[in-house]
Amino acid sequence: MAVSNRGAALAGNELILRAVFTDADGCLTDLDAVPNIYIYDEDVDTATILAEAEAQVYTTALAGPLAATRLSTGYYTYSYTVPSGADAGSWHDLWVGTINSTDDYQYFGFTVTTGFTSRSQNLGPNTMVIIELAATITNDDGDEYLPATDLYYTTTYSPLYASPDLIRLEMGRWIDYIPDDTLALMAHLASKEANFIQGDSPAGYGNIELARTKFVVFDAVWRCLMIPGQGKEAGYSAGKKKALGDLSITDGAPVTTIPDEIYDWVREQRQAWWRVVNAGGNIVPGQGLSPTMAVKGWLDPDRRLTGRLWDSPETTRYPQPSSNRKVRQAGRRRGRFGFDDRRRGGR
């Protein structure tokens, strides 16, 4: 029998009720004896419960008194089975006990449900749905259909900047052993990391979309390559396969060995696109974030000359050499681009 919780106690299932008792200083303390528990269904309001607790007459209680079990100092529990025909709603459990010969009580609540309905439960993104098929499922003749089975489904992942098909298109046969569900989960985790590391992109928004996708592709592949069982065939007869939801690990006979060059290439690509995403798409893959050169403005008197600067041909006559020879001109200044027109009052 499945165990429910206070937030969703399924009719007919077991519910573990717990209570902790403390003194005035907040320290755990034992009651003089184990407390009694009274169960009230959805038809009884809290005002009636409090009135009955004060009068110590529990006429509207559905069940009780039920003796709790002491687990440790001040910690008590009770296993209550919700009736199979119970109505859905807010139920309450009233705990009554004695501390230092003084009567005390406290009530708690739990929600009883009658099962799944499409009207009361909505599925959102990034949600795993687990369907438990019990072995007791039979037809009208009592024939069992299948052993106990757990089915796992996931809703749409968000964010998801790369699909499993795109990842397979990039990596080919090196990740054939990874199921699509596992690739989608890894791509979702990589997409969340891309959102975390993404920098400002005031001028390169179009670039950041491509950078995020490329980063997610290689980050998801890198995560998959770290899963034990790489290079194994999922359906190999001599191997073993373990699946937990969307994560699948297969240990079979080696089909192909992934060379170290593939690991190195995937890691380098991931690091290169990580830098692009971190820069908001404003640099190219492999480029660093540090400036290559910084010079002062044209009007700054301390501006450093950055290359070869030549005298203006309007003021300096350069002789035409008759043969291959170097020509040295007095006063020539070194710069980078063109001639130095600042000597004649230019910029």
Neighbour order of strands in the sheet with 14-20: 3-4, 14-20, 75-81, 69-72
Map out the domains of the chain with their CATH numbers: 3-113 (2.60.40.1930), 128-156 (no CATH), 164-278 (no CATH)
Residue among 111, 83, 70, 77 at smallest CA distance from 11: 83
Task: State percent of the chain over pLDDT 90.
Answer: 12
**pLDDT tier, 193 (very low <50, low <70, confident <90, very high otherwise):** very high
Whether 75 contacts 127, CB under 8 Å: no
Give the angle 186-189-193 at the CA atoms, nearest 5°: 135
pLDDT in tens, 68-108: 888 888 888 888 888 888 888 889 999 888 888 888 888 89
**Of 331 and 176, more confident:** 176
Give pLDDT, residue 166.
Answer: 92
Give the angle 27-32-33 at the CA atoms, nearest 5°: 115
pLDDT in tens, 290-318: 666 666 666 777 766 655 555 556 665 65
3-state SS, residue 283: coil
Cα–Cα distance measured from residue 310 to residue 319, given in angstroms and rounded to the nearest whole number: 14
Q: According to the 3-state scheme, what is the secondary structure of 87-150?
A: CCEEEEEEEEEEECCEEEEEEEEEEEECCCCCCCCCCCCCCEEEEEECCCCECCCCCECCCCEE
pLDDT in tens, 11-39: 888 888 888 888 777 788 888 888 899 99
Cα–Cα distance measured from residue 30 to residue 36, given in angstroms and rounded to the nearest whole number: 14
Burial 12-36 (b: 16+ CB within 10 A, else e): bbebebebebeeeeeeeeebeeebb
Specify the length of the chain in residues: 347
* The two three-digit tokens of residue 40, written as one number: 């009230």
**pLDDT tier, 269 (very low <50, low <70, confident <90, very high otherwise):** very high
Of 43-47, 96-100, 214-218, the range with the highest mean pLDDT is: 214-218
Cα–Cα distance measured from residue 264 to residue 287, given in angstroms and rounded to the nearest whole number: 18
* Average pLDDT of the chain, as a whole number: 76
**pLDDT tier, 270 (very low <50, low <70, confident <90, very high otherwise):** very high
- pTM value surpassing 0.75: no
Q: Is the pLDDT of residue 167 over 70?
A: yes
Q: Is the pLDDT of residue 162 over 90?
A: yes
**pLDDT tier, 325 (very low <50, low <70, confident <90, very high otherwise):** low
Q: Is the pLDDT of residue 238 over 50?
A: no
Cα–Cα distance measured from residue 218 to residue 269, given in angstroms and rounded to the nearest whole number: 7
110: β partners:
91
